[in-house]
Amino acid sequence: MKLVRPDTDPVRDKFAQARKELSSALIEREDEVDLVLTALVANEHILLVGPPGCGKSLLLDSVLSWTGGSKFSILLTKFTTVEEVMGPVSLAALKADKYLRVTTGKLPEADYAFVDEVMKASSAILNTLLKILNERVYDAGDGVARRVPLKLCLGASNEWASPDTGKELAALSDRFLLRKAVSPIRSQAGRQRLLWTRDHAPKLSTTVTPAEVEQARRQALALPWSDEAKDALEVILKELAREGIQPGDRRQFKTVGAVRAFAYLCGSDEVLPEHLEVAQHCLWDAPEEQPQKAAQVIARIANPVGMRVTQLLLEVEQVLAAADVRNLADAAKAAAKLAEIDRQLSTLKGNGRVETARAYLKDQLRRLKLASIEAV
């Protein structure tokens, strides 16, 4: 997907710069960067699930440091108490025969939250967390449900909630509109960067204020949907239903806002079918098989060019993994295959990802030839 246009407005420029710098620093995390920024603009929450050491915390911490505002971070365990998340009970209030929590510095007063291992929350924490995430309100104990300033909760977990964990965790998962599995680095080039680059932390050259985030949200909400995008969404929902995937009404409605936010990040003046690609992380319920099916359906309908680019990039990685650069004949054969993939990419039009993929392929071809020469 193309980057944000640099000629729009100062706030959009900041999102463009942050998106570029985060994607450049974090290896093979372009999709995750887009999702976190989409959630930020859409005023929604995001859940990233994957094994330890995949950069979830680094990405989330980088975005949190960029946004400004008050932050609350916590690593949940089965021993975490409600007091650690919501604040301790006020002793002064108890003396007056009242039960109130002191929420200073805790989740109810945070603009942004990072909740690691969110699926390990106890029932007591879950009951309150669900209301804060969904309705953005909290009752400190006096019976008054007050608005919380929470704009974005970044949830992280090493595993999905299983069907055996009950309805509570399913309800918690549903509070995160955007959800994605995070995989370890897969490409050879990515591994080289990981192993031989000393510092992987993004260096962000800008900051954004809560007021600017709100401005971005208003601008995104104002983006109109093209007729083609509306038709594509209707087809997607029907195809998903045929696959047994029927997300609830609330999730469908909120997805419209998330797609608008993604279109805003992509620099568009309206929502186009290709922007529906982000909906693959919204329009499903059960994490076992539905995310893969949803991704296939949405890519086929909304962004067939992007789907083809992904397939060709997978072929590139397979060629590189199988190539023996010490064998000149084998290296030449691999180079010929890469050249053929580049030819196929050159026939694809209308998607900024094509140019990015071709640049990556040519860089790998150059590396392959240099490695072959050094091996002689």
Tell me the per-residue pLDDT of 331-346, one tens digit each, with 9 for 90 and over.
889 999 999 999 999 9
Name the residue with higher pLDDT: 255 or 371. 255
Q: What is the mean pLDDT of residues 207-233?
A: 95
Asked if the model's pLDDT at residue 351 lies above 70, the reply is no
The residues pairing with 73 across neighbouring beta strands, listed in sequence order, are 114
- pLDDT at residue 57 in the model: 84
- The confidence band for 105, taking pLDDT boundaries of 50, 70 and 90, is very high
Burial class (CB in 10 A: 0-12, 13-18, 19+), 201: exposed
pTM, to two decimals = 0.85
Output helix, strand, coil percentages for the chain, rounded to the nearest 5: 60, 10, 35
CB 83 within 8 A of CB 125: no
What value does the mean pLDDT of the chain take? 90
Mean of pLDDT values over 45-51: 94
Three-state DSSP class for residue 16: helix
What angle, 0 to 180 degrees and rounded to 10, lies between the N-to-C axes of helices 10-25 and 249-265? 90
- Tens digit of each residue's pLDDT (9 = 90 or more) over 183-208: 999 888 888 889 988 888 899 999 99
Residue 7 has what pLDDT?
52
Tokens of 170: 């399913």
Q: What is the mean pLDDT of residues 363-373?
A: 84
Q: Which CATH class is domain 10-196?
A: alpha beta
In angstroms, how far is the first alpha carbon of the chain from the final one?
40
With 70 as the cut, is the pLDDT of residue 8 above it?
A: no
With 80 as the cut, is the pLDDT of residue 16 above it?
yes
Q: If you search the block for the tokens 């805003």, which residue do you land on? A: 264
> Quick one: what percent of the chain has pLDDT higher than 70?
95
Across the range 70-75, mean pLDDT stands at: 92
